[in-house]
Amino acid sequence: MEIRILGPGCPRCHEVERRTINVLAELNLGADVQKISDIKKIMEYSIIGTPGLVINGKVKCSGRIPSADEIKTWIKEENEAPDVRTR
Give the CATH number, domain containing residue 46.
3.40.30.10
pLDDT, position 86: 43
Predicted TM-score (pTM) of the model is: 0.89
Total tally of structural domains belonging to the chain: 1
87 in a structural domain:
no
Cα–Cα distance measured from residue 44 to residue 31, given in angstroms and rounded to the nearest whole number: 21
Find the mean pLDDT for residues 66-80. 95
Query: 47, 34 in Cβ contact below 8 A?
Result: no
Cα–Cα distance measured from residue 14 to residue 76, given in angstroms and rounded to the nearest whole number: 22
Task: Check pLDDT > 90 for residue 63.
Answer: yes
Which residues are known to be catalytic? 10, 13
Nearest by Cα to 62 from 74, 80, 76: 74
pLDDT, position 33: 97
For residue 38, what are the domain limits? 2-80
Which tens digit of pLDDT belongs to each residue from 46-59? 998 999 999 999 99
At 48, the amino acid letter reads I
Which tens digit of pLDDT belongs to each residue from 27-50? 999 999 999 999 999 999 999 899
